[in-house]
Structure 1
Amino acid sequence: MDEQTALGLVGDRLAAAGDDCAVVDGQVITTDMLHERTDFPDGTTRYTAGWRAVGASLSDVAAMGAEATAAVAVYAAPTFDESELSAFLDGATAVCEAVGAEYVGGDLDGHDEFTVATTALGETDDPVRRSGAEPGDALCVTGTLGRTAASIRLFDRGEVEAANELFRFEPRVAAGLALAPYASAMLDSSDGLARSVHQLAGASGCGAALTEPLPVDERVDAVAEDAGDRRELGLFFGEDFELVCTVPESDLAAARDATPCPLHRVGSVIEAGVTLDGEPLPDRGYSH
Structure 2
Amino acid sequence: MDERAALSVVGNVVSAAGDDCAVIDGLVATTDMLHETTDFPDGTTRYTAGWRAVGASLSDVAAMGAEATAALAIYASPSFETAEIEAFLDGCLDVCAAVDAEYVGGDLDGHEEFTVSTTALGRTDAPVYRSGAAPGDVICVTGTLGRSGAAVRLFEGGETERANELFRFEPRVATGRSIAPYASSMMDSSDGMARSLHQLAEASDCGMSVSYADVPVDDAVEAVAADPSEERELAIHFGEDFELVCTVPEESLAEAADASPAALTPVGSVTDGGVRMDGESLSDRGFTH
The answer to whether the superposition gives a TM-score over 0.5 is yes
Matching of residues 66-215 of structure 1 within 5 Å: 66-213=66-213, 214-215=215-216
The residue matched to 2:265 in structure 1 has which SS?
strand
Q: In the TM superposition, what is the alpha-carbon distance from 1:9 to its structure 2 partner?
A: 1.4
Structure 2-normalised TM-score? 0.99
**Which residue is 1:284 aligned to?**
285
Post-superposition shift, 1:271? 0.3
* Residue equivalent to 1:261: 262
Partners of 2:38 and 2:273 in 1: CA distance? 34
- The alpha-carbon deviation at position 4 of structure 1 amounts to 1.1
State how far apart, in whole Å, the 2-side matches of 1:114 and 1:90 are: 17
CA positional deviation for 1:173: 0.2
Hey, what's the Cα distance between the residues in 1 that align with 2:44 and 2:92? 14
In the alignment, the residues of structure 2 paired with residue 226 and residue 8 of structure 1 have an alpha-carbon distance, to the nearest angstrom, of: 35
* SS of equivalent to 2:212: coil
C-alpha deviation, 1:206, in angstroms? 0.2
1:234 aligns with 2:244: no
Q: What is the RMSD of the two structures over their aligned residues, measured on CA atoms?
A: 0.6
Offset, 1:156 = 0.7
Compute the displacement of 1:240 (Å): 0.2
Give the whole-Å Cα distance in 2 for the aligned partners of 1:212 and 1:62.
25
AA aligned to 1:237 is: F
> How many angstroms apart in 1 are the aligned matches of 2:3 and 2:43?
27
Q: In structure 1, how many angstroms separate the alpha carbons of the residues matched to 2:143 and 2:274?
A: 25
- Tell me which amino acid in the other structure corresponds to 2:137: D
Q: Secondary structure at the match of 1:105?
A: strand
Aligned length: 288
- Structure 2 residue runs of 5 or longer lacking an equivalent are none
Name which of structure 1's ranges 243-252 and 11-20 shifts more when overlaid on structure 2: 11-20
TM-score w.r.t. structure 1 length?
0.99
Q: Which residue of 2 aligns with 1:60?
A: 60
- What CA distance in whole angstroms lies between the structure 2 residues aligned with 1:218 and 1:207? 29
State, as a whole percentage, how many aligned pairs show the same letter.
Answer: 69
Range with bigger deviation, 23-32 or 3-12: 3-12
